[in-house]
Structure 1
């Protein structure tokens, strides 16, 4: 029989895949890969602030991830170059987080767990947070699906249909911040964007409709989670990177399958 900690790890990974799949397709469609990367890097600063204020880590990460996403949106609205702005904010937030952690009194933590994830240490309480966050993300995207899809295809078309593209963008930002907060312990700050991007990119190679792409991204995310955990157990490799590596293998296979 499987050990209890492996079951919790699998359930945690599946919960993250449920949130990352639907959100990841919009990351791919809107070319927001660097946007997700910057938000994920800010998570370490959220960890430091949560420890300093004696708050749950998820709360600190959620607040900082949301603040980072809003800051990037604000820079874009002011005409700043997105690639430069994202690069500056991503690296600055990560560096500030690593420095801030060192100044938190009586804080003993394994930074590698926050950078690369520690899915095997997930507790029942963590599972409740992960699945609650995943349910919120799925509910948000399901509720606004048609409007999000229209504003993604064309903001002009969305406006002519009475849809506010800015509001839909804020909903995606909120969903991204929640996903980063719940995924941090599973794959870590440096790998969250990979879990958002790779399953969705793999699903795009074989999907024939937006809905099929969402389902494919969720399925590939779950497959990568279970495959990565199995690889980690067999090879004694880090679980978070193993999950991302498994997703990358699936992506390569979908590209080969798509070749004429």
Structure 2
């Protein structure tokens, strides 16, 4: 069964959707979209370093993404607005990554595949990494679900409950780095944040509880992966962008449903 490239691609898309769903909810709740974008942009530098050092692309992308996220967390509030700081870090890391790739002699690299994803080229070993990373993200978020929700709602309440919001931020940062590393093969660094944010945003009008929103986001993400891949196969369009387009259409539909409910209430 896994010899079929469409089957491998579908499994990869579902795995990334499951990893991105709960994490995307926290990105939406905390308004961390730009933070996620900066982390994703940094991954291309990780790809260049991993190829130069002949190590796993997953390991290199995750290490640099985590370093970027930690750097942004440490430097925030030290004289620069967060959006300015993230803009500088994100585009600097992307530029250095692209320049570093140009210096790799004797290494053939399809840069477009890392920028926009190449889900149809996913191998069995890639599936193991993607599903292993997804399981790790789900385990981390599930383990710290209640403290993360409390810290997201109110940091003072978290302190009063004996929780450390900075520790929860670290868990979220680590999870984000892992998600970026596993998603880079599927949708590429330029579309990773879309897969994080759009399913979660689409699930919001349908949900009454945070747990419902995470489950709906997972379902919407998985549906987007399956339908987007089928559409890409039938219409001969890029697979990664097609997945994001389907997610955007679902977001539009749920937004209309949410608006209709509000008008009828």
> So what's the TM-score if we normalise by structure 1?
0.98
| Residue matched to 1:202 | 202
What is the CA–CA distance in structure 1 between the aligned matches of 2:80 and 2:70, rounded to whole Å?
14
**Secondary structure of 1:176 counterpart:** helix
How far off its partner does 1:205 sit? 1.6
| Residue matched to 1:166 | 166
Say how many residue pairs are matched: 260
| Residue matched to 1:148 | 148
How far off its partner does 1:75 sit? 1.5
> So what's the TM-score if we normalise by structure 2?
0.96
Q: 1:209 to 1:4 in 2, by over 3 A?
A: same
Q: Deviations over 1:66-111 (max 9, x none)?
A: 0000011012143521110111111111111000000012111111
| Residue matched to 2:39 | 39
- Check if 1:21 corresponds to 2:24: no
Q: Deviations over 1:182-213 (max 9, x none)?
A: 00000000000000000000001211100000
What is the CA–CA distance in structure 2 between the aligned matches of 1:2 and 1:207, rounded to whole Å?
35
Q: Deviations over 1:189-246 (max 9, x none)?
A: 0000000000000001211100000001000000100111011011100000000000
What is the CA–CA distance in structure 2 between the aligned matches of 1:78 and 1:67, rounded to whole Å?
18
Structure 1 residue runs of 5 or longer lacking an equivalent are none
Structure 1 residue ranges (4+ consecutive) displaced by more than 2 angstroms after TM superposition: 77-80
What is the CA–CA distance in structure 1 between the aligned matches of 2:131 and 2:158, rounded to whole Å?
32
Aligned residue runs from structure 1 range 1-260, under 5 A: 4-259=4-259, 260=263
**Secondary structure of 2:80 counterpart:** coil
Structure 2 residue runs of 5 or longer lacking an equivalent are none
How far off its partner does 1:177 sit? 0.2
What is the CA–CA distance in structure 2 between the aligned matches of 1:77 and 1:18, rounded to whole Å?
33
Instruction: Provide the aligned C-alpha RMSD in A.
Output: 1.2
**Secondary structure of 1:249 counterpart:** helix
Verify the 8 A CA contact 2:39 2:65 in the aligned structure 1: yes
**Secondary structure of 2:146 counterpart:** helix
Verify the 8 A CA contact 2:2 2:124 in the aligned structure 1: no
Q: 1:115 to 1:131 in 2, by over 3 A?
A: same
What is the CA–CA distance in structure 2 between the aligned matches of 1:132 and 1:65, rounded to whole Å?
18
Verify the 8 A CA contact 1:52 1:105 in the aligned structure 2: no
